[in-house]
Chain A
Amino acid sequence: MSATDTGGRVSRFGSAVAEGWTRERLGLLGAVALVLVAFAPPFQVYLFTDFLVVALFALGFNLLYGYTGLLSFGHGLFYAGGAYGIAIVLRDLGPVIADVVGAGISPLVTFVLGGVVGLALVVALAVPVGWLSVRLEEIYFALITLAFGMLGYSLIIQDPAGLTNGTDGVIVLLGTVDLGGFSLRIGGRRIYYAISAVTVVAAVYGVWRVVNSPFGTVCKAIRESPDRAAALGIDVSHHRWMTFIVSAAVVGIAGVLRAGLASVASPGLTHWSTSAIAVIATVIGGATYFYGPIVGAFIFLYIRWAISRFPALEAYWELFFGALLIAVVLFFKQGAVGGLLLLRDRLFGDGDADDAGSGGGGARDDGGQATAATDDGAESGDDNARADRGDNS
C-alpha cells in the first residue's frame, strides 16, 4: 500500500471526523471510552469486561437468530467449549510449554495457544452439530439445540473421559509473564480487560464484515423468506450450516474470555439457562439490529448490577428480566435499539424516519454503537448527536 493512499485515508478520516455524526467519529469516541474504562475502579473494570464477554456471546448467538431466523437454545455448548478448551490446555500443557519456550513468557504463549485450541474445539463441535441441527426449523431447531447443549452438560458433569473434573469444573490459572525486569499478570483486572477489549472489538468487527458481505446478505434473504431464497437458487441449509459454524466460533471466543474472567470453566456454561442469557440479551436489545445483542448485554449486566445494589431486590433480578422479555416480545419487538432509533427520530426528525419500524438489519447501527461503546449509555449518544447538529447548522 502506497504512502499517498494512506495519506488519503488519513485525510478522509479527518474530514469525516470533522463532519459530525459519522461512523468514524463514533468509532473514535468508542475507542476513547474503551481506554477510559481501563482507569475506572477495579470492580467497574470487571463489570465492563463481563459486559464485553456477554455482548460477544449474544452477538454470536444473534448471527444465527437475527440473521437466519434459527433460535438456538444450546449455544452454551460452544460457550463452554471455548472455556474448557483453554482451561484444559492451561492445566495440562502449561508445564510442557514452559519447557519449550522458557518459564518467563510461557503463561502468555499458553494463554494464546489455549485460546486457539478452544476455538478449534468449538469449530470441531459446531461442524457436526450444526450439520445435524439445520435440518430442522423453528421449534424443532430450538429443541434439538437444547438437547445438544444438555447432552454436552451431561457429559461434562459425568466426565467419562476424565478431562472436565465433573461438577467442580476446571480451575483457570493465567499466571504471570516475567521477562527480567518486566512482569505482567495476565489475570490482573486491567490487563485482562485490555486483552478482552481488543479481542471483542476485533471479533465484533469480523462479524460486522461477515454480516455486510454477500454471505450476510444471503443470510438476511433466508431470514425474510427461506422459500423465496431457495427459489433464487440459494442452498438454504448449506448457508444455515455455515452461519451456524461462524456463530458458534464467535460464541467460542466469548467462552475463552469467560474462562479467564471467571477463573474457572464450569459445567453451568453448557446448561440451557446459560444459553438463555444470549436469548434474553438479544431479544431485549433488538434481534433485527446488528448492535441489538450488544445493547441488550449492556442492559442485562448493568441493570442486574443496579438491582444488586438493593439487598431486598437483589435475589429477584430474574423477575425483572422475565417481565421485560415478555413486554418486549409482546409490544415492541424492535427492542432497545429500535426504541433508541425511534427516540432519535422523534427528537431530531430528519428524513430517515423509517429506521425503527422496518428493522433495517445491519444497516441501522449507529445509534447502537453509541450506546454500546460509551460507558454511560443512551444519554451520551443523544447528547453528542445534539451537539453535532449544532455544529453543522
Chain B
Amino acid sequence: MSLTSLVPLIGIADVVIGLSLGSRLFLIAVGLSLIFGVLGVLNFAHGGFYMLGAYVTLAVVSNVVDNFWVAAVVGALAVGVVGAAIEFSAIRRLYDRVDSDLDQLIVTFGFVLVIHETVRFVWGSGSYSIDPPDVFNFSVTLGGSTFNAYRLVVIGLAVGVLAALWLFITRTYFGSLVRGTSSDREMAAMLGVDVPRLYTGVFFLGSVLAGLGGALSAPLQSTSPALGDQVIIDAFIVVVIGGLGSMSGAFVGAMLIGMMQSLGPQFISAGSIAIPFLAMVIVLLIRPEGLFGGIGE
C-alpha cells in the first residue's frame, strides 16, 4: 500500500481524538513530572488524584451547582487539598531516609488502594458520565469526519496549561525558588527558602493539575473506580518517554501516546497495546533521562 492511499485512512477526527486523549494524559503527567522533578517523589497515587477530580466534578455538577466550569475548578482544588494533606502528613516523613525513593513509592501505592476504596465506598462501583458543557456540545465536521467540539476545548486548555506553567516556572519569583530547590535542595534551604512549605506547594500544584485533568475529561469518558489504575500506567509511560521532571517532555510524550492510542489499532491489529510498554523499556534502557531530558524544563 502506498503512502497516498494510506493518508485518507487517518481521519481528522482520529487526530483530534488522539490529541484530546493526549491532553488529558498531559494534565496528569505534567503534575507527576513536576512533583518528581522537585521533590524526587514518584507519586503512584497520581492516577487516583485524577479519578478523584473527575468524581468530585461529577458530584458538584449533579448536586450543588449546575455549572461544569465551576465544578471543574472545585474538583481540581479539592484534589489539590487532598494531595497537600498527603504530602504534609505522610510523604514528608520520608525525605530524610536512606532508601527514601522506594519508601515513597510504596507509601503512595498505599494511597492508591485507600483512594480507590474510598471512591468506591462513596460513589459505588458503577460508572458515571456527563455531557460536555452546552456551549461546546455540538458536532464539528471536518474533512468528512465528525467529532465533538468539546475535544478542541480540552486540547486548547492543555496547551494553555503548558504555557501558563512555563511562564510560572521561568518568569515568576516562586518559579525561580522551585527551580533552585529542584537543582539543589540544601543550598536553597541555606539561602532561606522554606523548603518544606515549597514542597507542599509543589505537591498541591501537581495534584491540582491531576484533578483538573480528571475534571476536564469527565465528559469524554465514563468515570469508574478503575479509572485511576488505568491512567497511572499511561502517565508512567508518558513521563518516562518525555523524561521524569520535564514539562515539555510530558507534553510531547502525552501527545505521542494519545495519538498512538487513537491511531495505533488501525495499523497494527495484534500487539498494539504492547507498543507503549516496549517504548517505555527501550527509553529506560537507552535514555533513562527521557527523550527530552532536562529536569525542570
Contacts and interface: CB of A to CB of B under 8 A. Distances in A.
Interface of A: 69, 71, 132, 135-136, 138-140, 142-144, 146-148, 150-151, 154-155, 157-160, 272-273, 276, 279, 283, 315-316, 318-319, 321-326, 329-330, 333
Contact of A326 (B111, B117, B280): B111
Given A142-B102, A319-B121, A330 B93 contact: yes
A218 B130 CA distance: 58
A326 B107 contact: yes
Contacts, number: 114
A389 B205 CA distance: 58
A90 B223 CA distance: 40
B271 A154 contact: yes
Interface string B269-297: 01111100110110011001000000000
Nearest to A323: B114
B113 A318 contact: yes
A279 B106 contact: yes
B109 A325 contact: yes
Interface string B235-247: 0110010001000
Given A147-B281, A158-B270, A322-B113, A136 B107 contact: no
B111 A143 contact: no
A329 B285 CA distance: 30
A323 B105 contact: no
Nearest to A317: B117
Interface of B: 42, 90, 93-94, 99, 101-103, 105-107, 109-114, 116-118, 120-121, 125, 229, 233, 236-237, 240, 244, 270-274, 277-278, 280-281, 284-285, 288
B258 to A, nearest CB: 18
Contacts of B284: 136, 140, 143-144, 147
A139 B105 contact: yes
B105 A71 contact: yes
B236 A143 contact: yes
Contact of B103 (A135, A143, A329): A329
Contact of B277 (A136, A138, A150, A325): A150
Nearest to A69: B99
Contact of A139 (B42, B110, B272): B42
Nearest to B99: A69
A143 B240 contact: yes
Contact of B285 (A138, A144, A276, A333): A144
A318 B229 CA distance: 14
Contacts of B114: 319, 322-323, 326
A69 B284 CA distance: 19
Given A140-B284, A329-B103, A151 B113 contact: no
Contacts of B99: 69
A283 B106 contact: yes
Contacts of B121: 316, 319
B37 to A, nearest CB: 13
B interface secondary structure, majority: helix
A380 B25 CA distance: 52
Given A148-B281, A318-B117, A319-B121, A71 B107 contact: no
Contacts of B285: 132, 135-136, 144
Contacts of B125: 315
Contacts of B101: 138-139
Contact of A279 (B109, B233, B244, B277): B109
The 5 A-B pairs with the shortest beta carbon distances in the complex, nearest first, are A322-B113, A319-B117, A154-B274, A325-B110, A326-B110
A316 B117 contact: yes
Contact of B106 (A138, A272, A325): A325
A273 B110 contact: no
B266 to A, nearest CB: 15
Contacts of A159: 270
Given A132-B281, A143-B284, A146-B236, 12 more contacts: A135-B285, A139-B101, A143-B280, A147-B240, A148-B277, A272-B233, A316-B121, A319-B118, A323-B114, A325-B106, A329-B107, A329-B110
Nearest to A272: B233
A158 B271 contact: yes
Contact of A330 (B90, B102, B117, B244): B90
Contacts of B112: 322
A151 B281 contact: yes
A268 B181 CA distance: 41
Contact of B270 (A146, A151, A160): A160
B46 to A, nearest CB: 14
Contacts of A321: 113
A147 B102 CA distance: 17
B251 to A, nearest CB: 20
B271 A155 contact: yes
A330 B107 contact: yes
Contacts of A138: 101-102
Contacts of A144: 280-281, 284-285
B48 to A, nearest CB: 10
